[in-house]
Structure 1
Amino acid sequence: MIVPRTRRMFAAVLLSVLLLTTACTPKAPGRFDQVQQESSRQKTGQAVAKNATQGSEFNKFFPSEEDGYQRVFTQEKKGFAEAKLKKDGKEVAMLSISDTTSTPGAAAKFSNSTEKIADYPAVEVGNTQTAVLVGKYQVKVLSRSPSFTASDRADWIEKFDLDDLAKLQ
């Protein structure tokens, strides 16, 4: 009789020790834990500069709807605002304003620009993008339809309130 009771006690003690040791063992670091800790501590190189302009400030500088075109704001965040330009329900272009404080390289491409739109340095990026630099702000129009040409992009850039945007600084 004593042997079965001892076995039960021994089994209970053994199970308790097993549970205690496995529960108190530190968890092995996961695959991404170190990277997460490093990025959480990082103060420089953040995606958006602290002094970047709020995206909501840009909305008033976008062109208004006209001639059958509809403007639909799609994104607004610190340093950036974007709207789709639609005609007959189809997206023909994307309009955006971004603060180059967060992306200094964006402003650098205008340094050798010989082209101007509304007296601001302009660049063509590929066959679908036209952009101007207004102070520290980049105003960009991207074609989403083959019928929306470089000339159309330049016309729509001129419809932005560029002079008041320049004062925003």
Structure 2
Amino acid sequence: MAQRAIAPLVLSLLILVTGCTAKEPSPFAQAQQESTQKGAQPAVAKNATQGSSFNKFFPKPGEGYERVFTQEKKGFAEAKLKKDGKDLAMLAISDAASDVTGGISATKKFEKSVTKIAGYPAVDVGTTQTAVLVSDRYQVKVLSRSPAFSKTDRQAWIQRFDLAGLSKLKK
């Protein structure tokens, strides 16, 4: 009988001791503190378009291609392009209102563009990315995930987006 009474007492004591022990700070605590300090830039602009608003502008699946949405958040939506179960490319739409890297706006790279895809300024980023800027705000990007998916393929898939519809999206 005494053993039955001791087990709950020991368990209660163990919970009390471990519950009152101070936790070590997370390795991300400093970054969180810095990013939330007064005056820190928000990660996403308040006026950024909801990512779910972009989904209807992505190319439709078909002809053996599969489109799998992988990420959707304020200012951004992304999908994988697959064929025969293999990843060929990433398709993405982002709101440039929130895309500031190192203080340089994402739209700057399009200012000197001499290439156009479907009438929109286009740029290549490295050897695996092609992007267009729609309405000076929305960046549509295709990133090769397979060596067989070429620059020509990326350009063709950008044209499969509903770019005209995206250009009419309310800002």
- Structure 2 counterpart of 1:98, from 82, 88, 94: 94
Taking the aligned partners of 2:155 and 2:106, their CA distance within structure 1 comes to 18
Deviation, 1:39, is: 3.1
Describe the shift of the 1:88–1:79 C-alpha distance in structure 2 as closer, same or farther (beyond 3 A): same
Gap runs ≥5 in structure 2? 1-21
Q: Which residue of 1 aligns with 2:140?
A: 139
Q: Alignment length, in residue pairs?
A: 143
Q: Secondary structure at the match of 2:168?
A: helix
TM-score of the aligned structures, taking structure 1 as reference length: 0.78
Asked if the contact 2:34/2:40 (under 8 Å) is kept, the reply is no
C-alpha RMSD of matched pairs (Å):
2.1
Correspondences of 1:38-117 after superposition (within 5 Å): 38-104=34-100, 105-117=105-117
Residues 160 and 39 from structure 1, CA distance in 2 versus in 1: closer, same or farther, beyond 3 angstroms?
same
Distance 2:147 2:31 in 1: 43
Query: Normalising to structure 2: TM-score of the pair?
Result: 0.77
Q: 1:124 maps to what in 2?
A: 124
C-alpha separation in 2, matches of 1:71 and 1:59: 11
Larger radius of gyration: 1
1:66, CA displacement in angstroms?
Answer: 1.9
Q: CA deviation at 1:67?
A: 1.3
1:143 shift after superposition: 0.2
Q: Deviation per CA, 1:21-67, whole angstroms, max 9, x where unpaired?
A: xxxxxx9xx68766644433335411100110000000000000121
Whole-Å Cα distance in 2 between the matches of residues 88 and 137 of structure 1?
30
* Residue identity opposite 1:101 in structure 2: A
Contact 2:35 2:41 in 1 (8 A): no
SS at match of 1:109: helix
Rounded to whole Å, the distance in 2 between the matches of 1:76 and 1:117 is 25
Overall identity of the aligned pairs, in %: 65
Per-residue deviation, 1:155: 0.3
